Amino acid sequence: MVNLSFLSVCRHISNILINRTIQFCCSSDILIMFAYAESPIH
């Protein structure tokens, strides 16, 4: 039972990290696109 709860906690933490990483990548993509649109050189 201890191993099962430990695995569920690890899975929960990994899901949070993955979601944070995806959100960070998406937000940085938006920033890069915005900077690209605002830059005079295309």
pLDDT tens per residue across span 4-38? 898 899 999 999 999 998 888 778 888 888 888 88
Say yes or no to pLDDT of 1 above 70. no
What integer pLDDT is reported at residue 13 of this predicted model? 94
Confidence band of 42 (pLDDT split at 50, 70, 90): low
**Model confidence, pTM:** 0.54
What integer pLDDT is reported at residue 9 of this predicted model? 92
Say how far apart CA 16 and CA 4 lie, in whole Å: 18
Check residue 21 and report its DSSP letter: H
3-state secondary structure of 1: coil
Best CA proximity match to 2, nearest among 32, 10, 33, 22: 10
